[in-house]
Amino acid sequence: MKISELFRQNEFVLSVEIFPPKNEKGETTLQQTLEKLSRYNPAFISCTYGAGGSTREATFHWCDVIQQKYRQTATAHFTCVGFDRQQLCNWLSKARELGIENIMALRGDPPQGEEAFQTVEGGFSHANELVALIRSQFPEFGIGVAGYPETHPETPNPQTDLENLKRKVEAGADAVFTQLFFDNNKFFEFRSRYEKIGIAKPLVPGIMPITEFSRIQRITSMCGATIPEELASRLESVRDDKKAQFEIGVEHAIQQCRELKERGVPGIHFYVLNRTRACERILKALGFFVEDAASP
């Protein structure tokens, strides 16, 4: 089912995001993750697309597994990196042949070893161009795009970032899924500005439970998200205790999600990092318990 239909037909849309694993052990872990998460009947499961398109075939493979083996709706991430217009169309044609109905359209990160985004000859520089291509040449796809409550790291200021987002929506996006954040006030402030500038598409918060402090510090340093001082202090005090870090992080995420739901978000998009323990705890706390779901 397309993203636009999912939000039109459901009061709350649950979605999760996985990434293609790099080795056999990772594949086994991801299979187990998909088995468990599919029991919660997410509206869709999205699969990322590596920097520089490094996992483009793996993205197709795992979207196919999601749909054929686990009978879930897949959403394929897709970026502008390294492709000209014809190659972009070829990729989208293959996605259509595989029965993929939704695309998460992103500009993408530079390939490993490169500091700045480089546009290939005949290619695109911005996600709104990719959205426009999909909407004009492949109108059957549902389209999701990214939003940044704390501003994209490459954007000079929040207003410019929001104007860039509006261009993506006006090009044909069906919904906006945010970068991870740990302070709900950041999201609510962003939502207020989002609505004020005239964007009417669903704005879906992206949540990544903290399960290991050092890992989340690396992630936030790359994407520009901040960790509230009080939360960071609590995590720092148990830096040598991974179990305690997990408990603090999951409880924080539960409180985040409860408040977000109470304040009317249209859904939540979980970044699960190919593991289920934290996400299952949160889903059960939110009332998404499924009778035959595996325990955490």
Query: Is there a domain that residue 291 lies in?
Result: no
Specify if 294 maps to a domain: no
The residue segments making up the domain with residue 31 are 3-285
For residue 263, being part of any structural domain is answered with yes
pLDDT at position 52 is 54
- Angle, in degrees to the nearest 10, between helices 158-171 and 127-137: 10
pLDDT computed for residue 35 by the predictor: 95
What pLDDT digit, counting tens, does each position of 252-274 carry?
999 999 999 999 999 999 999 99
pTM for this model (two decimals): 0.93
Rounded Cα distance, 178 and 202, in Å = 11
Q: Encode pLDDT of 143-154 as tens digits.
A: 999 999 999 988
Would you say residue 295 lies in a domain? no
Domain containing 217 — which CATH number? 3.20.20.220
Q: What is the DSSP string of the chain?
A: --HHHHHHH-SSEEEEEE---SSHHHHHHHHHHHHHHGGG--SEEEE---GGGTTHHHHHHHHHHHHHTS---EEEEEE-TT-BHHHHHHHHHHHHHTT--EEEEE--PPPTT-SS--PPTTB-SSHHHHHHHHHHH-TTSEEEEEE-TT--TTSSSHHHHHHHHHHHHHHT-SEEEEEE-S-HHHHHHHHHHHHHTT--S-EEEEE---S-HHHHHHHHHHH-----HHHHHHHHHTTT-HHHHHHHHHHHHHHHHHHHHHTT-SEEEEE-TT--HHHHHHHHHTT---TTPPP-
| pLDDT at residue 158 greater than cutoff 50 | yes
For residue 260, is it within any domain? Answer: yes
Q: Which of 5, 17, 163, 251 does the annotation list as catalytic?
A: 17
Question: Residues 115-122: what's their mean pLDDT?
Answer: 71
Residue 114 lies in a domain: yes
What's the total number of domains in the chain? 1
- Whether 49 has a pLDDT exceeding 50, the answer reads yes
Q: What percent of the chain has pLDDT over 90?
A: 83
Whether residue 17 lies in the annotated active site: yes
Q: Is 26 inside a domain boundary? A: yes
Residue 296: per-residue pLDDT? 39
Asked if residue 293 is part of any domain, the answer here is: no
Q: What pLDDT digit, counting tens, does each position of 60-92 carry? A: 999 999 999 999 999 999 998 888 999 999 999
